[in-house]
Amino acid sequence: MGRVEGKVALVTGGGSGLGAADCRRLAEEGAKVAVTDVNLEAAQKVADEIGDQAIALRHDVASEEDWKSVLAEVERRFGGLNILVNNAGIVVVADPEETTLEQFRKVQAVMNEGVFLGCKYAIPLIVKSGGGSIINMSSTASHLGYPPFFAYSAAKGAVRSMTKSIAIHCQQKGYGIRCNSVHPASIETPMIQGAMGRPGQEQAVPEGVLPSGAIGAPKDVANLILYLASDESRFVTGSEILIDNGLIITPAG
């Protein structure tokens, strides 16, 4: 217990899936958590589960004004910010020819521009708070070709490269901020359930070492988020960390 004791975290898309798991895990280890989501009701439910050390805020990550107001409220309520988890995401199932410009722009607004805005406006507050960690949720889609998830893959690729620039920028400026990207394969979340044609149908993920091709559990990612948020990972910045059960290195056939 206490691996992030005394730290303040903001998790976008915290109302469900990976974001909710991240919020719970960070709170379990002592962090105060701002659960932000475009769905305030979902965010409030997670915050209520956590208790007094959490707040829920409505947050459209594609909105510059929302980022300014949310960060101001986090500072007002908690006194600063040490951990930013840029987790919010959406997916459109469409290949390069089927994807409309409107769909492409919407996905980029949430997962590309949203991460940019989060880093841009959170960096000064994290510096003011004494430094910390930015964790950007990417995907194995940034490494592989997934035609049905074209816009999603493009956004996650942007997150992958953006993270490295932010990490070096903060290091060169002496800000005391580390920035890393996390690249999960399929994890049992509402997004994956919808993409696999079983919306709302959650499947249990067994304990222990999982076989090739298995879907992971949200807690698998949350434990990695906790490590990157904690001072244990002080020598880790600019890294892209795969959490994919060997997917990327599995030989074809």
Active site (catalytic) residues = 152
The alpha carbon dihedral of 95, 200, 183, 88 has a sign of positive
Dump the DSSP string for 141-192: GGTS--TTBHHHHHHHHHHHHHHHHHHHHHHHHT--EEEEEEEE--BSSHHH
Q: Residue 247 corresponds to which amino acid?
A: L
- Tokens 């109302």 appear where? 15
DSSP β-bridge partners for residue 16: none
Cβ atoms of 187 and 18 within 8 Å: the answer is yes
- Among 240, 244, 65, CA closest to 137: 240
Q: How far apart are CA 181 and CA 251, in angstroms?
A: 24
